[in-house]
Amino acid sequence: MALFRTLSAALVGIDAQPVDVEVDVYPGGTERDFIVVGMPDTAVKESRQRIRSALANSGFHVPSQTVTVNLAPASLRKEGAGFDLPIAVAILGALGHAPTRHDQVLVGELSLDGSVRPVRGVLPVAACAREQGARAVIVPKENAPEAAVVEGLQVYGVGHLSEVIGLLTDPARFQPDLPSAAAAPGTEGEDLDFRDVRGQTTAKRALEVAAAGGHNVLLIGPPGSGKTMLARRLAGILPPLTLEEALEATRIHSVAGALPGGQGLLRSRPFRAPHHTISDAALVGGGIGMPRPGEVSLAHHGVLFLDELPEFPRNVLELLRQPLEERAVVIARSQMTVRFPAGFTLVAAMNPCRCGYFGDPTRECRCTGAQIQQYLSKISGPLLDRIDLHIEVPAVPFQELRTRNGGAGSAEMRQRVLEARKRQRARGFVNAEIPPGRLRELCPLDAAGERTLEQAVKRLALSARAHDRILKVARTIADLAGVEEIQAKHVAEAVQYRSLDRSYWS
């Protein structure tokens, strides 16, 4: 009878918790006497078939013995095939083929031939290993750049089970993977330039305001007016990711299995554009078993683009209200509560009616009044109230389509956005995230601005939330202008961005 222990980790939200992999091997029994306990899911239970074949095909003779695997703590649910490698190493250690090492964390899936396959969530596993005082992590070769992001930890990328045993037996023959040189901060869609969009001066200005203050945007216009082109260029004028933002965004993508193979840190802000057939769990996170992050979390520190907004199921859209307000998603289960960050900029696009031509001066709308209202009613008032900028995107006249001057380009717009963000950093908040208790302090109005805001609130019957959002947008417009006190013209422009919904939803 032999007992052996290795170290691994289990994913919980976007973090990882340490797991002890204990293996007890004793004579007698058959191949069926391979028991895994400690709240394993189906993928972990199926590891016994993969591990036996991997051991045999890697040249290790495994006699028919009883194998008991305990994944501790037993109260923590274990999911995925990442426990294959630590279990296999623990079995070989119990049989005398591997030395005892309690300063290394292992994770990886095994193929039947013994090769090590990549798994999701390696970045939080590596972070957990460092927090627990581990010296090194052994991970699949494809995941090594991801794990190497964590400082103060030796990372060994391996491609085969036999390589792992060689590393444990004679570590002097192996060198840890070095983190790749940090890539220069980049921007998602930096090859997409606003100069390519003809006309739409008002929409471009609104998107610049949105980028400068982190505000949400709704684009309304007929088909072919350029809504999607505009939305896809927004990420290109956002500030580059900071190291802290890149680490958090990479961790989310790692847990979701959405990080490209061989990539370490994300270098550009995410841009997510889910189809309108998406389920509620895919949008905000959840699913069977351990909850996974959804599209709103994958867009964290970036842009979430919802095209054809009324085509999304209403119950799915209503789930956006919590992340838009709290910039996070909380998913409750009977045995756990998981919190996923969801600080994204929402860009939604829609037609004004089902045929798309309501209010268009050149095309006749074929929808009845009842059909138009039914179409627009899919967007609820509370959701609409959480979108700061409502922008009309009309069809572009022929003369503007043929012009060679596309107006301001992305580089010029980005520079203005960076200057505005610099002013906001000095205050400690991006404008869209200014807490209510600091609004009066950080958004001072001159006398004319105060009168303009009062008139707008009374005339448009704005809610308290709309009042606060107009004030935040006006703060951003003033920042773009380089002034500290918000003036009447800044308030008037912000009010203009909130009045379009009255043309359609009233």
Sequence-ordered list of residues with C-beta below 8 angstroms from that of 152, at least 6 positions apart, any chain: 130
Report all structural domains of the chain as residue ranges with CATH numbers, in order of start.
Answer: 2-173 (3.30.230.10), 194-427 (3.40.50.300), 434-506 (1.10.8)
Q: How far apart are CA 256 and CA 300, in angstroms?
A: 13
Q: Please, what is the average pLDDT of the chain? A: 89
Q: In this structure, what are the phi and psi dihedrals at residue 156, rounded to the nearest 5 degrees?
A: -115, 115
- Give 274-280 contacts, CB < 8 A, sequence gap 24+: 274/304, 274/306, 276/306, 276/307, 276/308, 276/309, 276/311, 276/312, 278/312, 278/316, 279/316, 280/313, 280/315, 280/316, 280/319
Judged by phi (left if over 0) then psi (alpha if -120 to 50, else beta), residue 124 lies in alpha
- Single pTM value for the model: 0.89
| Letter string b/e over residues 108-140, b meaning 16 or more CB atoms within 10 A of that residue's CB | bbbeeebbbbbbbbbbbbbbbbeeeebebbbbb
pLDDT in tens, 458-485: 888 888 888 999 999 999 999 999 999 9
pLDDT at residue 506 in the model: 58
Contact 340, 328 (CB under 8 A): yes
pLDDT in tens, 343-391: 999 999 999 999 988 888 888 899 998 998 889 888 988 898 899 999 9
CB atoms within 10 A of CB 505: 14
* Run of H or E residues at 6: strand 2-12
pLDDT at residue 32 in the model: 66
pLDDT in tens, 127-179: 999 999 999 999 999 999 999 999 999 999 999 999 999 999 988 888 888 76
Q: CA torsion, points 456, 460, 464, 469, in degrees to nearest 10?
A: -60
| Interaxial angle between packed helices 47-57 and 84-94, expressed in degrees from 0 to 180 and rounded to the nearest 10 | 60
